Amino acid sequence: MTRTKQYTITTDDRADVVAWNEATHAITMGNEASAVTSNIKTHAITMGNNSNATTIEGGSHAITMGIGSNALTKRYRAYAITTGEASEAITEGLNSHAVAVGCNNYATAAGNRSLAVAIGDYSGATTTNENSIACALGINSRAEGVLGSWLVIGEWEHPKDFNDDEAKLLCVIAVQVDGEKVKANTWYKVKNGQLVECK
């Protein structure tokens, strides 16, 4: 149990840090570790690989920086951010945001007026609420959503030598999932300037 406005930090591998009071912070720096906060305006941060950060109250933030890590927020106006590769950012609260920056990452937004953004290459963004947006803006990225939600997907011209510094943004398409032209719960990408289903 931690006190108000107190930081709990560990650098050990496979460690668990839990903060339960208002305005507290749980931070882990080791691999395979977990940071959990469960009150208003709290923050959970993990820096090691294969780690998890979880917040379960409004106005809170979960951030992971390691490879294969997961950030989860559940409640009003929360933010989940991952910067490592092969990681996931998930939000379930009203007006929440999930941001996945690394390659092969996934961002999922489940609350009303929420936003899922996948910026890394070969990543995916999905939303499970009709009043939300899924953005896939990396090279060869994809997005899906439920009926009524919006998808924003970019297409890049990728150099043959796979030099990301020379990649060129060709277009960005925004569409609403209407159940006819754009199917619900179906992954889409942009190819040759057209929205296409992922095979």
Given a cut of 50, is residue 77 above it in pLDDT? Answer: yes
How many CB atoms neighbour CB 60 within 10 A? Answer: 27
How many CB atoms neighbour CB 55 within 10 A? Answer: 31
Report the pLDDT averaged over residues 68-74.
87
Given a cut of 50, is residue 3 above it in pLDDT? Answer: no
**pLDDT tens figures, 143-169:** 999 999 999 999 998 777 666 677 889
Q: Examine residue 64 and state whether it is found in any structural domain, yes or no.
A: yes
Cβ(150)–Cβ(134) under 8 Å? yes
pTM (predicted TM-score) = 0.84
Residue 1 pLDDT class (50, 70, 90 cuts) = very low
Q: Examine residue 140 and state whether it is found in any structural domain, yes or no.
A: yes
Distance CA 77, CA 61 (A): 9
Residue 77 has which token pair?
């106006």
Domain range for 67? 38-197
How many CB atoms neighbour CB 77 within 10 A? Answer: 19
The number of distinct structural domains making up the chain is 1
Q: Examine residue 3 and state whether it is found in any structural domain, yes or no.
A: no
Q: Examine residue 23 and state whether it is found in any structural domain, yes or no.
A: no
Cβ(60)–Cβ(73) under 8 Å? yes
